[in-house]
Structures are given as structure tokens and as C-alpha cells.
């Protein structure tokens, strides 16, 4: 196993230890109870189907895949625009860690959006620092969030545990203790709106 794969695995294990602290979003949260999870080999093979059209514009829901919470967000054109203009703030711009989780659909064209359909972002909801679940803070600036975010906040996620920040493509912001962007995963569209993850 490569060092990057080991890093990814470690972070997923941190997730199991990290619990659900810090969810702060209009979201449906599925409880994550370790003792109720199926065996590891069953988890590794399991897939999750989800209809992304059930996520309202601008909103986020949390679903579950292989025992891990996953964010699904519906980004409006205005939110997508907030992805521009802050490349110099990105700590993991080339997103090398995504190789370890087989995001084979990732191309140069969709790398900024980190999604197959640009409005629907689907990422593992585990901070790549120690596995807490970051809170969703989509509007730009400090008006809604105060000094929990920087003045030039582009909108995204704020991890309450140790302050990691991610933009609306879940790309980690400079100065965060988290080393990598939130992880992507293999998925594909079965219909116009239904995805299968895994
Ligand atoms: S777990 Fe997110 S910043 Fe530490």
C-alpha cells in the first residue's frame, strides 16, 4: 500500500473515532454508531444510491456510504461563482490525495468543481485533519459567520475542532491544520439525477 493510500486509510479510521461533533447545517444526519456497522469486507463492497435532485438549491444533506458520512450539496450558479478568485488560498490545489480513493472521473476540466455535474458536490464528510465533520458556511464573507472565518472567506466549510477551512469545492484553505481537500470517491450517474457511490 502506498504512503498516500495509508494516509487516506488513517483518515478514514480517524473518522470512526471522531464522531459527529460539529455538524452545523440544514442537513439530514444519519447517526454513525460503530457497534452497529457491518463487517469491514461487507462495507468495502457496499454501494449507496442517492437521488441528488432531492437536495434543494443551496442546501446540503448528509448521507452514508460504507459507514462514512458523505456531504451532498446542490450549488447554485452564485455559489459556483464563489469558487473563482482564490486559487492562491488553496493548500492542496492539485488534490493529489484523491488518487488514493479512486476518483477516476476527475479530469482537468472538472477539477475546480470536483464533481461530475458541477452543481452537485459529493465528498466524504470527514475533515482530513482528525476526522471531525465540518460545519457548512456557504455564504461569502463574515456577515453570517463572524470571526470564525477570515474576512476574505469564499464560502464553504469550517471545522470547529481545530479550525480547518474548506471552500465550496471542499478544497482546504491555507493555514488549516488539515493537509488535504475533503476526499472524493468513485461514483457515477445511473440516470439524470440518481447516482451510485462506490
Ligand atoms: S478535525 Fe478538522 S480541524 Fe481538526
Burial 46-73 (b: 16+ CB within 10 A, else e): eebebebeebeeebbbbbbbbbbbbbbb
Q: Where residue 98 sits, what CATH number does that domain have?
A: 2.102.10.10
168, part of any domain: no
For residue 161 and ligand 1, the question of a CB distance below 6 A is answered with yes
Count of domains in the chain? Answer: 1
153, part of any domain: no
143, part of any domain: no
62, part of any domain: yes
In which domain, by residue range, is 34 found? 3-81+93-133+179-197
The Cα–Cα gap between 4 and 61 comes to 28
Distance 122 CA to ligand 1 centre (A): 19
pTM of the model: 0.79
CB 90 within 8 Å of CB 167: yes
Q: How confident is the model over 144-198, as pLDDT tens digits? A: 999 999 999 999 999 999 999 999 999 999 999 999 999 999 999 999 999 999 9
109, part of any domain: yes
Catalytic residue among 86, 129, 158, 162: 162
Q: How confident is the model over 57-68, as pLDDT tens digits? A: 999 999 999 999
Q: Nine-digit cell at 94?
A: 492539485
For residue 127 and ligand 1, the question of a CB distance below 6 A is answered with yes
152, part of any domain: no
User: 162 catalytic, yes or no?
Assistant: yes
53, part of any domain: yes
8, part of any domain: yes
Amino acid at each position: 500500500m502506498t504512503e498516500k493510500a495509508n494516509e487516506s486509510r488513517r483518515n478514514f479510521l480517524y473518522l470512526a473515532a471522531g464522531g459527529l461533533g460539529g455538524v452545523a447545517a440544514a442537513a439530514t444526519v444519519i447517526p454513525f454508531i460503530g457497534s452497529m456497522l457491518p463487517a469491514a469486507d461487507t462495507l468495502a463492497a457496499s454501494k449507496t444510491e442517492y437521488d441528488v435532485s432531492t437536495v434543494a438549491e443551496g442546501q446540503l444533506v448528509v448521507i452514508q456510504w460504507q459507514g462514512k458520512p458523505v456531504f451532498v450539496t446542490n450549488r447554485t450558479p452564485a455559489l459556483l461563482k464563489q469558487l473563482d478568485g482564490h486559487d492562491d488560498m488553496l493548500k492542496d490545489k492539485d488534490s493529489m490525495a484523491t488518487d488514493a480513493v479512486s476518483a477516476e472521473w476527475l479530469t482537468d476540466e472538472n477539477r475546480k468543481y470536483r464533481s461530475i455535474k458541477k452543481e452537485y458536490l459529493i465528498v466524504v464528510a470527514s475533515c482530513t485533519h482528525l476526522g471531525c465533520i465540518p460545519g457548512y458556511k456557504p455564504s461569502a464573507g463574515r456577515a453570517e459567520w463572524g470571526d470564525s472565518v477570515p474576512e476574505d472567506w469564499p464560502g464553504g466549510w469550517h471545522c470547529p475542532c481545530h479550525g480547518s477551512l474548506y471552500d465550496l469545492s471542499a478544497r482546504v484553505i491555507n493555514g488549516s491544520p488539515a493537509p488535504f481537500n475533503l476526499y472524493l470517491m468513485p461514483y457515477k450517474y445511473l440516470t439524470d439525477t440518481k447516482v451510485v457511490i462506490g
